[in-house]
Structure 1
Amino acid sequence: MINKVGQIMVYVDNQDEAVRFWTEKVGFSVKAEEDNGQGMRWIEVAPTKEAETSIILHNKEFVAKMSPGINLGTPSLMFFTDQFDELYTDLSNKEIKVGEIVNMPAGRIFNFADDEENYFAVMEQK
């Protein structure tokens, strides 16, 4: 039986730029990096080293060649934070494209885009 989400695959055009975005701008850490020397390279990033769920950054072009039928679209990810206003301000100050704050029945939400225009959402969690 499945008991947790372990990793989420995100396919990107430029892995090095994606790593810089997630680590330098968003504040994630690199948990692992693998390279088989034959083009298959992936980088695991997460909010903390101890996080149970992480994002794996894969080379979109390589994955498309290896698995032609795979959906390379960006998954719709919702992150939670208990420092909502601070995160919104921090991302904005780092010139990350952020959307307007929206009040939803479940709480306040905004979205942000990485350097490849992939959008992700953040929800306030108190």
Structure 2
Amino acid sequence: MINKIGKITIYVNDQKEAKEFWTKKMNFVIKLEQPMGPNMTWLEVGPSEDEFTSFVIYERQLMLAQKPDANVSHPSIILSTDDIETTYNELKSKGINVGKLMIMPYGKMFNFADQDKNEYLVREDKY
């Protein structure tokens, strides 16, 4: 049976801009980057080398050229942190568009947008 979430594809307008956002602003590492053919690159990023799950950064127009009926809208993604205030302040200091830090009975969280205005949620998870 399935035992891990492997990869989540994020469709973007410009792969180079997305690479810059995830590696420079979010401090993610490049897990895999290799040519897939003319004008195409397979790009995976993740929070660290040790993290199994990664984002596949793929250009919307390339996917639509390959499969015109593909759903290239943005998935709902929740990222985890064990220190929400530090994470919030760090992203804000890097000029990332972050929403209000919400403190709810079930946890603390905030949203942010990437270079294409895709929204993500960051939630504090304490184990």
For structure 2, the 5+ residue unaligned runs are none
Provide the rounded CA distance (Å) in 2 between the counterparts of 1:125 and 1:16: 31
Say which SS state the counterpart of residue 62 (structure 1) adopts: helix
Name the structure 2 match of 1:52.
52
The number of residue pairs the alignment matches comes to 126
Say which SS state the counterpart of residue 37 (structure 2) adopts: coil
* CA-to-aligned-CA distance 1:15-55 (integer Å, 9 cap, x gap): 01101100100110001012123233221000001111100
Summarize the alignment of residues 61-76 of structure 1 with structure 2, pairs less than 5 Å apart: 61-76=61-76
Provide the rounded CA distance (Å) in 1 between the counterparts of 2:53 and 2:20: 19
Provide the rounded CA distance (Å) in 2 between the counterparts of 1:21 and 1:60: 17
Name the structure 1 match of 2:125.
125
Kindly provide the amino acid, as one letter, of the partner of residue 108 in structure 1: K
Name the structure 1 match of 2:87.
87
Kindly provide the amino acid, as one letter, of the partner of residue 81 in structure 1: T
Provide the rounded CA distance (Å) in 2 between the counterparts of 1:27 and 1:85: 17
Provide the rounded CA distance (Å) in 2 between the counterparts of 1:87 and 1:35: 33
Provide the rounded CA distance (Å) in 1 between the counterparts of 2:60 and 2:105: 36
Kindly provide the amino acid, as one letter, of the partner of residue 80 in structure 1: S
Kindly provide the amino acid, as one letter, of the partner of residue 106 in structure 1: Y
> Given that residues 15 and 57 in structure 2 are in contact (C-alpha distance below 8 angstroms), is that contact kept between their aligned partners in structure 1?
yes
> Given that residues 81 and 125 in structure 2 are in contact (C-alpha distance below 8 angstroms), is that contact kept between their aligned partners in structure 1?
yes
Compute the TM-score of the two structures, normalised by the length of structure 1: 0.95
Provide the rounded CA distance (Å) in 1 between the counterparts of 2:74 and 2:88: 21
Say which SS state the counterpart of residue 31 (structure 2) adopts: strand
Provide the rounded CA distance (Å) in 1 between the counterparts of 2:36 and 2:42: 9
Provide the rounded CA distance (Å) in 2 between the counterparts of 1:60 and 1:42: 13
Summarize the alignment of residues 1-126 of structure 1 with structure 2, pairs less than 5 Å apart: 1-126=1-126
Sequence identity (%): 40
For structure 1, the 5+ residue unaligned runs are none
Structure 1 stretches of at least 4 aligned residues deviating more than 6 Å after TM superposition: none
Once superposed, what is the RMSD of the aligned Cα atoms?
1.0
